[in-house]
Amino acid sequence: MNKTVRLAGIAYESLVNGPGMRRVFFAQGCKHKCEGCFNPETHSFDDGEIMDMDNLIKDVLDNPMLKGVTFSGGDPIEQAHSFAYMAKAFKNSNLSIWCYTGYTFEELLEAMKVDTSLRDFLNNIDVLVDGKFEINNKKEGLKYKGSSNQRIIDVKESLKQNKVVIINL
């Protein structure tokens, strides 16, 4: 297996991309190109830097201050195989895992029927913030999301119940 991932960047210690001190990996590549996107430089699939996932994992696990990891972007779903590999390692170390995507949970449920790496990825994520950023639904003070159409989803419970289970923060 190719153990690399294409990243636009890393926030080494973040308090705004999920609860607690977190490492944030920004995927390079996004098909959504939402108007008003916070990270338009992450849209191209050719930019960013190809990085060794084992080194990234080790660096996270070597930092005892980190309570979790967040995958953002770009859209991590576009590299589900790589992010699944990292998510498994972090999950095995009891870190909380959040992921931001422009896809809806329902779209991902449909896609994971044929995409085993996407299934692997979702099975190792605790919280998914889904849906495209919609500039018309942008509101100040939204916690952990950019627009009010986006949902903060308990992935494990949603997969178990086969319906979206929202986390109200």
Backbone angles phi, psi at 6, to 5 degrees: -95, 115
Share of the chain above pLDDT 70, in %: 100
On average, the pLDDT of the chain sits at 94
Query: What was the pLDDT predicted at 2?
Result: 83
Cβ partners under 8 Å of residue 28, min gap 6 = 6, 7, 8, 42, 44, 45, 47, 48, 49, 73, 74
Query: What was the pLDDT predicted at 34?
Result: 86
**Cβ density class 67-77: b for 16+ within 10 Å, e for less:** ebbbbbbbbbb
Q: Counting every residue, how long is the chain?
A: 169
Q: Which whole number is the average pLDDT over 1-12?
A: 93
pLDDT at 168 > cutoff 90: no
Query: What was the pLDDT predicted at 140?
Result: 85
Share of the chain above pLDDT 90, in %: 88
Query: What was the pLDDT predicted at 38?
Result: 81
Q: What gap in Å lies between CA 53 and CA 128, rounded to an integer?
A: 21
- 20: region left, alpha or beta (phi > 0 left; psi from -120 to 50 alpha): left
**137-145: which pairs have CB atoms within 8 A and are 24 or more residues apart?**
138/36, 143/169, 144/16, 144/17, 144/18, 144/98, 144/169
Query: What was the pLDDT predicted at 141?
Result: 86
Query: What was the pLDDT predicted at 152?
Result: 97
Q: Which two structure tokens, joined as six digits, stand for 152?
A: 């903060």
Q: What gap in Å lies between CA 58 and CA 158, rounded to an integer?
A: 30
Stronger pLDDT, 77 or 169, i.e. the higher one: 77
Cβ partners under 8 Å of residue 8, min gap 6 = 26, 27, 28, 39, 41, 42, 47, 48, 73, 74
Model-level pTM?
0.95
Q: Give pLDDT tens digits for 86-144.
A: 999 999 999 999 999 999 999 999 999 999 999 999 999 999 999 999 999 998 889 99
Stronger pLDDT, 34 or 77, i.e. the higher one: 77
